[in-house]
Structure 1
């Protein structure tokens, strides 16, 4: 009775109807739960009678002749206590249902204990161990970027003797292919359903072929050819995409929290930069210490990189297996043809928030492409770095990445993600451009002197700290677009949206390298020029052109970021809405990946 009446103890056989999960009444498997006991834990009337008579309680579902409960799946259980060691059938309970974002969805095992079938998304703070393993997979991307941008052209042109134009053409074609394959990899991973979930199959299958392709790229057999380089470069880029796109998509899957997604992105940046800079240090200090043109040194460079790339991606997969295996539990929609898949990719990319963040990443990465392409020219002809300074410089860069990982959290909490980009991108530009302006007005120490090098290291540390902080915030925005796109399209597209960000990044990096060539042409810097023989006018023109481009792109990045429509309040309100829809209708179209 309601009110003050005595509370009645329900009959054990009726307990299931009152104890159903909040959505289990919608599940066809739960139709007879009231007759058999609680959902997934029913008892026969014979068992109830035996308990009431003082008899021993028999394990649920482990006796023969029992009538199957609708929704229960037949399994096999070996009874160790039987002398004949026979295999006998038992009935496992139907899986427990929960809302789309219920977090740790678990189902009882045969022995009654609860077993995780994937524990994401994680509510609250993500364990550091999980965040570290999620970031570890980005090492392969950092090593690939470092090798392609720093050593590959030099190796095939100067060491193997290929025409530089053919090498550049092969790398350009491979880059175009990479930009096309990224969205396809992301879309396929979004629609993959296996016992290991969506992302783990890629992280388990791609690393070993990637390592082999990386070794072949740096150890070509016979005379080098355009076709060999093209195929090797395409294989490496495609396999890196198969590792990196699913790995990046995990940021949005592991956590829905506004701040934790930035924390996960910080780990990814630290590992990506760390992997690339580690290979740079090994190249300068171990494999190519005194002979940048030694073919054997590049072979060792390739083998070491392959081991590190494959090992880190596999280590990331193993470390995350218990956390992400089996997620998501929902079945995918019926397969679509190529045109249908391309339509879904276009629909995901056309979301306004996605367009804004892709444009911001494009501006930031164009600036980075110009900086990376011109860095050796600036170090050699403007700042006159010594060999010792060149060996110290990677350590300075890694220190700036650590600083950015520490700064990103407080900056985001103070200004939000868009505000953090708007604040730190111009600051980074200021410390990149400031030394060039001070040098132009004779307010800088003499080129190549110890005070000038120390001051340049400090400015580089600060500039890259602020620049990487803005990049972390930008890439963290990609994860927040997932729920906005889900609300609009009815699909979760973590992989597709991450691939869109990579597409913008790679196209912009290529544009930055192209722009750097135009700046060198504008400055009229001659090939093979000695640093002490370059006219001051050439150095000033190069410095001025670089400063103007960097400043304009930083301002554009900040301006675009401020147009990002998702702040903390909007993100949390959207999560609450999606959860409410999931609780009212677990089959709602907007709740399925």
Structure 2
């Protein structure tokens, strides 16, 4: 059977069926995010019995491991050549590794300690990189159109949010609102991922076409580094992306602790998470529509402004304010769609700058740097949050004084608002809009035509 075609450089649209098939691997990717950043730290500190500072340090080391693996996987996938494409083989190879790692870290043996958490975390993050990074690069290569890239990124990130939503709602689905131990949720998610991982990755690989050959003539490292440093939109975007990622990572890491110790409503943790991510899905179509009028970077900034303005009141909340916090979760959840979808679409545009300057189609390498920024931000969030809470004398398993609770509230909401303001300042005058991206694509097509003419033996001058 003939392999399905994907949009060409002319900017064709993926059919809805192909779009959904491409986005499906986002389900397990998103489902992994909640346990790794919300349930796992609390589980290993409260139920396994490791100190908060130890858990934070281990997860920080595991995320920094991506500093090594991300660029390696990105560069290798860029240079891969096979009849199955550049990106799909990496994703398929990652499935068994990720399944084994998830099982060992989500359902640890009784004698599990710090070394168990560290070793299996390193393998889990490697497998996650081998799926997430090629998946993002694959989507960026499916179309050259400015707005179609938003649609493709929207499909992928919507699946990520749906996966996150399902994972966040696990305590509700299990009927354990009165017994919210993270270990119960982790055990159920491990079982679900054993089915969802191979099913979704296999469906995407079967239904959506991938480039079969690598870009020709890989650049030497010195020239490659020079082009990276000359790509000013890339440098600005990745800095804003890192800062905004840290702003998002702090509340993600501290959510369970904030609801339990500040709001004193541990029985509502599952509901609050579920509502937040549900609103994130509902907000995606709205932000994609706004982006067609305002452009991607201005729309992203608008969402961050609204998010920061709403979140600024969170440090004022206390015991008994769970209903107010539910309204905040709805409002900030609606902003989530823009925060997840639009930066990913802008990433694809920034690669065009590198391609136009002669870097070749190094989508995997660029997505590796963005993956590193994302993971580093979340790793810093865990390290900073747990480290400072430990200094403030916060006890995750006991009672806390006003000073420790204030530290938790400020780390959860106060610091993220300040970080969002910095990211907004970086992106408000971002130079790569729809018109600029159109000029880049025209330049790339012109250079590709010249290369093809030089290498085509039938293109010799007829005037002889």
TM-score bracket, shorter-length normalisation: 0.7 to 0.9
Between 1:207-216 and 1:499-508, the stretch displaced more is: 207-216
- Structure 1 residues 587 and 139, CA, compared in 2 at 3 Å: closer, same or farther? farther
- Structure 1 residues 194 and 474, CA, compared in 2 at 3 Å: closer, same or farther? same
State which of 451, 456, 476 in structure 1 corresponds to 2:325: 456
1:507 corresponds to which residue? Answer: 376
In 2, are the aligned partners of 1:581 and 1:588 still within 8 Å (CA)? no
Does 2:270 match 1:381? no
TM-score, normalised with respect to structure 1? 0.69
- Structure 1 residues 462 and 254, CA, compared in 2 at 3 Å: closer, same or farther? same
1:68 corresponds to which residue? Answer: none
- Structure 1 residues 553 and 586, CA, compared in 2 at 3 Å: closer, same or farther? same
Aligned length: 454
2:312 corresponds to which residue? Answer: 433
How far did residue 158 of structure 1 move? 4.0
What is the rounded CA distance, in whole Å, between the counterparts of 1:453 and 1:172 in structure 2? 31
- Structure 1 residues 240 and 478, CA, compared in 2 at 3 Å: closer, same or farther? same
In 1, are the aligned partners of 2:67 and 2:372 still within 8 Å (CA)? yes
How far did residue 371 of structure 1 move? 1.3
State which of 183, 190, 193 in structure 1 corresponds to 2:81: 193
What is the rounded CA distance, in whole Å, between the counterparts of 2:315 and 2:118 in structure 1? 38
How far did residue 458 of structure 1 move? 2.1
How far did residue 191 of structure 1 move? 0.8
State which of 246, 253, 256 in structure 2 corresponds to 1:366: 246
Does 2:8 match 1:121? yes
Please say which structure displays the higher CA radius of gyration. Answer: 1
SS of 1:206's equivalent in the other structure is helix
1:56 corresponds to which residue? Answer: none
Does 2:118 match 1:249? no
Matches within 5 A, 1:533-572: 534-535=401-402, 539=405, 542-543=408-409, 546-572=412-438
1:418 corresponds to which residue? Answer: 297
2:459 corresponds to which residue? Answer: none
- Structure 1 residues 154 and 331, CA, compared in 2 at 3 Å: closer, same or farther? closer
How far did residue 518 of structure 1 move? 5.8
What is the rounded CA distance, in whole Å, between the counterparts of 1:474 and 1:587 in structure 2? 35
- Structure 1 residues 570 and 378, CA, compared in 2 at 3 Å: closer, same or farther? same
1:398 corresponds to which residue? Answer: 277
How far did residue 173 of structure 1 move? 2.1
Matches within 5 A, 1:1-20: none
- Structure 1 residues 460 and 151, CA, compared in 2 at 3 Å: closer, same or farther? closer
2:364 corresponds to which residue? Answer: 495
Does 2:65 match 1:177? yes
What is the rounded CA distance, in whole Å, between the counterparts of 2:216 and 2:4 in structure 1? 17
SS of 2:312's equivalent in the other structure is helix
SS of 1:254's equivalent in the other structure is coil
Unaligned runs of 5+ in 2: 456-464
In 1, are the aligned partners of 2:98 and 2:127 still within 8 Å (CA)? yes
What is the rounded CA distance, in whole Å, between the counterparts of 1:333 and 1:377 in structure 2? 51
Does 2:157 match 1:269? yes
Q: Which structure shows the bigger proportion of residues in helix conformation?
A: 2
- Which structure has more relative contact order (CA 8 Å, sep 6+)? It is 2
What is the rounded CA distance, in whole Å, between the counterparts of 1:346 and 1:287 in structure 2? 55
Unaligned runs of 5+ in 1: 1-108, 110-114, 440-445
- Structure 1 residues 392 and 187, CA, compared in 2 at 3 Å: closer, same or farther? same
Deviations 1:140-186 (A, max 9, x none): 32222222122323444444445555444432222111232111111
1:355 corresponds to which residue? Answer: 235
Deviations 1:294-341 (A, max 9, x none): 978754442222322232222222221xx32xx25566437x8xxx45
- Structure 1 residues 587 and 146, CA, compared in 2 at 3 Å: closer, same or farther? farther
In 2, are the aligned partners of 1:269 and 1:401 still within 8 Å (CA)? no
- Structure 1 residues 217 and 382, CA, compared in 2 at 3 Å: closer, same or farther? closer
How far did residue 584 of structure 1 move? 3.5
How far did residue 512 of structure 1 move? 2.3
State which of 586, 589, 593 in structure 1 corresponds to 2:452: 586
1:49 corresponds to which residue? Answer: none
What is the rounded CA distance, in whole Å, between the counterparts of 1:318 and 1:386 in structure 2? 43
2:198 corresponds to which residue? Answer: 310
